[in-house]
């Protein structure tokens, strides 16, 4: 609908909800999202056990609470490494998908890169199932910053390097 009214490049679409893997990010971006919000995956990487007590201020692992008794269970020096590595692995997985498709960034993904299974042993290109209303090819024109240099201290051939966990005494 945004393309029909000519405002697609003037808005930012943020996808959210059960996005936890690089393939989920690729699908959301291919369907037209400009950004993704990953909440649950980061919470689990931080140590969330999904006790469903976030709203009670009694989170048993100390993540979703301000109560000092429960916050003792949260070790930020351990958790930041886990969260950082989760996000880096997610980015590496997305980069592997992009390389296998042959695009250089996630904003180049469109419906043309995806297929949907219609019946057993029958799949169709997503652009055929849901064509763009104005006959467009689905490309977006994001305003991107400078491309970071390929620093060997930060990146390896798979993407950002993982953070090593420090041993606790």
φ, ψ of residue 30 in degrees (nearest 5): -65, -30
Residue 45's Cβ-count burial label (10 Å; 0-12, 13-18, 19+) is buried
Q: Mind listing the pLDDT tens digit for each residue in 125-150?
A: 988 888 877 777 777 766 666 656 67
Helices and strands (H, E) in the chain, number of each type: 5, 6
User: Up-side HSE of residue 103: CA atoms within 13 Å toward CB?
Assistant: 17
**For the whole model, what pTM was predicted?**
0.79
Q: Mind listing the pLDDT tens digit for each residue in 12-57?
A: 889 999 999 999 999 999 988 989 999 999 999 999 999 999 899 9
């Amino acid at each position: 609908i945004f393309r029909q009214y000519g405002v697609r490049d003037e808005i930012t679409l943020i996808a959210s909800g059960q996005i936890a893997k690089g393939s989920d990010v690729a699908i959301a971006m291919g369907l037209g999202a400009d950004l993704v919000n990953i909440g649950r995956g980061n919470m689990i990487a931080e140590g969330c056990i999904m006790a469903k007590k976030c709203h009670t201020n009694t989170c048993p692992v100390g993540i979703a609470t301000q109560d000092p008794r429960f916050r003792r269970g949260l070790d930020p020096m351990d958790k930041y490494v886990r969260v950082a590595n989760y996000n880096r692995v997610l980015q590496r997985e997305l980069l592997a998908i992009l390389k296998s498709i042959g695009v250089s960034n996630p904003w180049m993904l469109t419906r043309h890169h995806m297929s949907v299974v219609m019946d057993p042993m029958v799949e169709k290109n997503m652009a055929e199932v849901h064509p763009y209303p104005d006959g467009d090819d689905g490309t977006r024109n994001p305003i991107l910053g400078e491309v970071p240099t390929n620093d060997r201290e930060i990146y390896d051939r798979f993407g950002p390097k993982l953070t090593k966990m420090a041993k606790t005494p």
